[in-house]
Amino acid sequence: MKRIIANIFFAAALVMIQLSFVNGLPFFLSSLNVVLTAAIFVLVLAGLETALWWPAAAGVLLDAFSFSPFGLHTASLAITIILASLLLDNFFTNRSLYSFLALSAASLLVYELAVNFFGFLAHYFGADRFPLVYNRLFWEVKLWQSLSNLIFVAVVFYIFNFVSDKLKPVFLARK
Amino acid sequence: MKKLKGRKNSYIIIGLLSVLAISHFFKLSYGAENFLIGQLRPISSRLYASSAFLRGLYDRQMEKRDLGGLLKEMEKMNGQLLAENAKLKSLEEENRTLRDYLNFYQKNKAAALLGNVISRDGFNSLSEAKQSFVIDKGSRDGVEPGLAVLNSEGLVIGKVVSVKDYISEVYLSTSPNCKFAVAVQNGSRTSGVAEGDLGLTIRMKYIPQTESLRPGDVIVTSGLEKNIPRGLVIGRISQVNKESNELWQDAIIEPSANPARLLIVSVFLGG
């Protein structure tokens, strides 16, 4: 129970940092998604059952503060975490930097697809008045976003490795 | 056993999310959501202030690069503005006297509401083309969609598009989804529609070919929109696009206000 409450508070704090601090930074830094990155780290370190609390806390708070249709961020985060969990169990089984980067890239892609899919549905059914604009600028922004997030993941990975042994590879030495 | 517990946990979360979605749909959770937003607004405001400070430092560093060219341009503009200011002051004096004589003068009782910027669009916005920010004033403070948002100098920076009880979403005037009914401050008061162009400038559309526009002309709101009075400055024309085979001509407007470092804005509530 303590772990769940701690996760909910951590998620809520990160949402506030994402919305009010990160989004206001200059372009390259403002495209970081600290909430998703943290959720992926929680998934790798603590497992799906803990990570699933993130959509419930972070998603709901993101939805409360955003003006997109309610549930869009919650649903997108939940789908991303479930799919990332499947990838983690079946493909990226070792905890190396490369598998972390691949998992983060895949999660980012899934999250973006989910957000845009639900956004498109909302627009189609009239819940959102403004159409999504898929012009050159959109794709350029997404490209920079992916790059900045992958750099961020690598930095966090190394910092985490420096302070903890949880992500360090284990070798069995013959004596 | 662990797997069973994990599955039970997942069911609890899915159930919780379903309850949240249903209660939002039937507006049962609005109270809780508003309470949450209301409590977190001061934190958001402080966080945004520190973020804007860092952004300001970065922008200033970038601006230093071409400061020389900018200085020359500013000196030239300063001369023009001084001459224009002197002319405007005499016009203002004349206007005041005329209003007194005709008994038209009324003290401007237009109400404005100050709000803190608490978030900008970023990763979580659906489309970068939206170009919006969120302020900590909502429908409970009297804000409604369609109101103009101004900076401290009284220049238009955007328009309120959506409101919740305690927060509102403002689209920048450079956003393609933000439109204003505008007029040119020239002899014929040419009117048209201004909408954001690629998030960088504003494009004034639907100007008849017969109208004469010049770069440097000031664009103001025309007063044809509900709740937005005429005369609020949006920007200056930087380029006029006139093709003889087109039905309309259009003009590129350079916005007067820079929204990058905004912390406090005012919402024009009307007279």
The pLDDT of residue B129 is 52
> What distance in Å separates the CA atoms of residue B227 and residue B269, rounded to the nearest whole number?
7
- What element of type H or E holds A81? helix A72-90
Look at residues B49, B79, B102 and tell me which one is the last residue of a structural domain: B102
Tell whether the model's pLDDT for residue B26 goes beyond 90.
no
Best of B116, B124, B132 to mutate (most A CBs within 10 Å, chain A): B124
Instruction: Indicate if B26 and B143 belong to the same structural domain.
Output: no
At A84, is the pLDDT very low, low, confident or very high (cuts 50, 70, 90)? Answer: very high
Nearest chain A residue to B177 by CA: give it.
A130
> Cα(B52)–Cα(B132) distance, rounded to whole angstroms?
15
Minimal CA separation from B59 to chain A, in Å: 8
> Closest partner residue to A20 among B6, B47, B177, by Cβ?
B47
The domain that holds B198 is classified in CATH as 2.40.10.350
In chain B, the number of structural domains is 3
> Is residue A119's pLDDT more than 60?
yes
Residue B31 or residue A81, greater confidence: A81
* A24 closest CB neighbour out of B16, B17, B48: B48
DSSP, collapsed to helix, strand or coil, labels residue B217 as coil
**Whether residues B97 and B118 fall in one domain:** no
Provide the 3-class DSSP secondary structure of residue B118. Answer: strand
Note the pLDDT of residue A108.
92
CB contact under 8 A, B124 and A16: no
Q: Which residue has the higher pLDDT, B62 or A60?
A: A60
pLDDT at residue A12 greater than cutoff 80: yes
| Residues B242 and B257 grouped into a single domain | yes
Query: Which pLDDT score is estimated for B6?
Result: 62
Identify whether residues B151 and B233 lie together within a single domain.
yes
pLDDT band for position A175 (50/70/90)? low
Residue B73 shares a structural domain with residue B56: no
Contact B129 A71 (CB under 8 A): no
Query: Is the model's pLDDT at B139 over the cut of 50?
Result: yes
pLDDT in tens, A33-45: 899 999 998 998 8
Same domain, B163 and B260: yes
Choose the closest CB to B126 out of A16, A64, A132: A132
With a pLDDT cut of 70, the percent of chain B lying above it is 83
Q: In this complex, which of A24, A60, A145 lies closest to B51 when CB atoms are compared?
A: A24
List CB contacts of A166: < 8 A, sequence separation 6 or more.
Answer: A45, A160
For residue B248, is pLDDT > 80?
yes
Whether B237 and B166 share a structural domain: yes
CA-closest candidate to residue B175, choices B132, B233, B228, B225:
B132
B125 contacts: CB under 8 Å, gap ≥ 6:
A66, A68, B132
Q: Which range among A81-95, B53-67, B106-120 has the greatest average pLDDT?
A: A81-95
Backbone angles phi, psi at A90, to 5 degrees: -110, -25
> Does residue B2 carry a pLDDT above 70?
no
Where residue B107 falls among pLDDT bands split at 50, 70, 90? Answer: very low
Q: Is the pLDDT of residue B105 over 80?
A: no
- How many residue contacts between A and B have a Cβ separation below 8 Å? 134
* Amino acid B1: pLDDT: 55
Q: Across the interface, which of B6, B50, B58 has its CB nearest the CB of A26? A: B58
CB contacts of A72 in chain B (<8 Å) are: 126
Structural contact between residues B178 and B113, judged by C-beta atoms closer than 8 angstroms? no
The mean per-residue pLDDT over the stretch B130-158 comes to 86
Q: Answer whether A20 sits within 8 Å of B43, measured CB to CB.
A: yes
> What's the complex ipTM?
0.78
The mean pLDDT value for B143-162 works out to 87
Contact A23 B126 (CB under 8 A): no
Cα–Cα separations (whole angstroms), residue A20 to A24, B3, B82: 7, 38, 39
| Res A128 pLDDT > 80 | no
Alpha-carbon distance of B76 to B78, in angstroms, equals 5
Q: Are residues B179 and B97 in the same domain?
A: no
Tell me: do B129 and B203 sit in the same domain: yes
Q: Which of residues 30-89 of A touch B (CB under 8 A)?
A: 30-33, 47-49, 52-53, 55-56, 60-62, 64-68, 70-74, 78
Secondary structure (DSSP) of B149-200: EE-TTS-EEEEEEEE-SS-EEEEETTSTT-EEEEEESSTT--EEEEEEETTT
CATH number attached to the domain at A2-163? 1.10.1760
pLDDT of the residue at B123:
44
Nearest chain A CA: its distance from B267 CA (Å):
18
User: Rounded CA gap, B177 and B194, in Å?
Assistant: 10
| pTM, 2 dp | 0.76
Residues of chain A found within 8 Å of residue B124, distances taken between Cβ atoms = 18-19, 23, 33, 62, 66, 73, 115
Question: With an 8 Å Cβ cutoff, is A114 touching chain B?
Answer: no
Q: How far apart are CA B31 and CA B19, in angstroms?
A: 15
The listed range with the strongest mean pLDDT (A113-117, B87-91, B255-259) is A113-117
How far, in Å, CA of B136 to CA of B45, rounded? 8
pLDDT on residue A110: 93
- Per the structure, the complete domain to which residue B87 belongs is given by 69-102
